[in-house]
Amino acid sequence: ELITPEIFIERNKDKRDKIWYHALYYLIYEAEDNLASKILLYEMLKEVTSKSPIDPIPENQFYFGLGYILRLSLNDKQVIKYIKGGKFKVNVGIVGMRDLLEELGEPISRRPILKDDEKKKMYEEFLNDDFFDQI
């Protein structure tokens, strides 16, 4: 099936919280030469793609979510290519992709934000824990 820009937008308008969308956005707007290794993508996006307020997303979970990026196509062309050395490279026109991403919007993080009083309570509970209840 030929994916036109209009179909691309329609299919992905509700997917801005997905790992692959964060990675695509990073590759288009921030990566030098629109190229990045999967390790770099993980390091740059592990916090924002996590659903935990404290911990980064597990690496294997991130890579699983990243896999979809290789199935994206636009006008019969693969949007992102996986090249030798474990790197992802943009395979379509950058300007055209920027136009599509601007229409879709910035990535959305579903990571819960802890309020300062919640953080303080967690630290106090941790510091006051005698740790002997586990033995």
Q: Which pLDDT tens digit goes with each residue over 18-31?
A: 999 999 999 999 99
Indicate the burial class of 112 (C-beta count within 10 angstroms; 0-12, 13-18, 19 or more).
exposed
Cα 48 to Cα 106: distance, rounded to the nearest angstrom: 12
| pTM, two decimal places | 0.83
**Is residue 132 very low, low, confident or very high in pLDDT (cuts 50, 70, 90)?**
low
pLDDT digits (tens, 9 = 90+) for 84-118: 988 999 999 999 999 999 999 999 999 887 676 76
Structural domain span for residue 61: 5-134
Rounded Cα gap, residues 135 and 101, in angstroms? 53
Q: Looking at residue 115, what is its pLDDT? A: 72
Average pLDDT across the chain, whole number: 91
What is the mean predicted confidence (pLDDT) over 26-53? 96
pLDDT tier, 129 (very low <50, low <70, confident <90, very high otherwise): confident
Give the total number of structural domains in the chain: 1
Question: How many angstroms separate the CA atoms of 123 and 126, rounded?
Answer: 5
Residue of 64, 65, 68, 71 lying closest to 3 (CA atoms): 71
- 121 pLDDT above the threshold of 70: yes
Task: Identify the pLDDT of residue 106.
Answer: 97
Q: Which region, left, alpha or beta, applies to residue 92 given φ > 0 means left and ψ of -120 to 50 means alpha? A: beta
